[in-house]
Amino acid sequence: MLNNSVILSIINQSWRWSVFLMFPLLLVAYVELTGVSFAQLDEGTNQHKWVIMLGYLLYVLVWLKLNRHVKAHLEQRSR
CA distance 50 to 57: 10
Question: What pTM value is reported for the model?
Answer: 0.76
CB 63 within 8 A of CB 19: yes
Q: Which domain holds residue 19?
A: 4-78
Q: Which residues of 40-71 are buried (b: 16+ CB within 10 A; e: fewer)?
A: ebeeeeeebeeebeebbeebeeeeeeeeeeee
Count: domains in the chain = 1
pLDDT at 54: 95
45-58 confidence digits (pLDDT tens): 778 889 999 999 99
